[in-house]
Amino acid sequence: FWGGVKKKKKKKKKKKKKKKKKKKKKKKKKKKKKKKKKKKKKKKKK
């Protein structure tokens, strides 16, 4: 049994390609700046 197995052609092992893990970029949360409302000055009509 074992002698017959050894005579068989050795199967070439397929090299597994290592997948490069993509580094996930952490999204920085932008702090929303509160805009101060500017009061519009009314132009007086002459």
Cα–Cα distance for residue pair 20/3, rounded to 1 Å = 41
Q: What is the pLDDT of residues 4-35, one digit of tens each?
A: 666 556 666 667 777 777 777 777 777 777 77
Backbone angles phi, psi at 2, to 5 degrees: -70, -35
The pLDDT confidence band at residue 42, using thresholds 50, 70 and 90, is: confident
**Using 50, 70 and 90 to split pLDDT, how confident is the model at 41?**
confident
Q: Give CA angle at 15 (11, 17), nearest 5°.
A: 155
- Alpha-carbon distance of 32 to 46, in angstroms, equals 41
Q: What is the signed CA dihedral for 29, 31, 32, 34, rounded to 10 degrees?
A: 170
